[in-house]
Structure 1
Amino acid sequence: MSTPDLAPRRTFGGVVAVWALAVVAGVLIGVFAPAGWRAEWITVSLGVCVIVAFAIQLWYGRSQAFIQRMALSSLGALLVLGLITGGFALAALVGA
């Protein structure tokens, strides 16, 4: 049986770090990727965000609420990248 942590590390920072990674990846894709390849690169960046979220949550070493933290990280990255993709779509409509 393990003893509880006296002062456990805060885990919300890891969740926000994955969201920030999604924002940076989305902006970089918008700047550097050709318009025809943006959807593919957004999908790749979401996969990278999920892997990074998994690595961050494992690094914390806490099993309590692991699934919730992973879900929050992944869902947040999905929503961020979805909003950025929606911005790409609106920019394509306005620019056409």
Structure 2
Amino acid sequence: MTDAPMTPSRTWRGIFGVWLAGLLGAILVAVFAPVELRFTWLSLTLAACTLLAFVVQLRTHQKVGFIDRLSISVVGVLGILTVAAAIIGLVALFEG
């Protein structure tokens, strides 16, 4: 294990990857999930992205800044899924 700090591009690549997975999950839920189960699937997407964030950050083998990187990843996914839930809710409100 090395104590050299991670480069900024390598740090953000893992974070953006988790955010992209959250965005992809939100799109898949909005398109394919039954209407009555969409919010359930969004919460499962958040759980899956949280686990993915742990895997991505543990795989870097860098203990310095682990909590910061993990927090940024999870809070970003939470924001993405919050926006997706608001959009899904508004569409459902105006549809029926």
- Fold conserved between structures, TM > 0.5: yes
User: How far apart, CA to CA, are the structure 2 residues paired with 1:51 and 1:21?
Assistant: 11
1:71 aligns with 71
Q: Which runs of 5+ in 2 are unaligned?
A: none
Would you say how many aligned residue pairs link Structure 1 and Structure 2?
94
Q: Please state if 1:47 is matched with 2:83.
A: no
RMSD, aligned CA: 1.5
Which residue of 1 is the match for residue 14 of structure 2? 14
Q: Give the structure-1-normalised TM-score.
A: 0.91
Identity of aligned residues (%): 31
Q: 1:8 to 1:70 in 2, by over 3 A?
A: closer
Unaligned stretches of 5+ residues in structure 1 = none
**Residue type of the partner of 1:8?**
M
CA–CA distance in structure 1, aligned partners of residues 46 and 16 of structure 2: 15
Structure 1: 4+ residue segments shifted above 6 A: none
Task: Report the Cα distance in structure 2 between the residues aligned to 1:66 and 1:72, rounded to whole angstroms.
Answer: 10
- 1:8-46 Cα shifts (integer Å, max 9, x gaps): 342111111111000000000011101100111111110
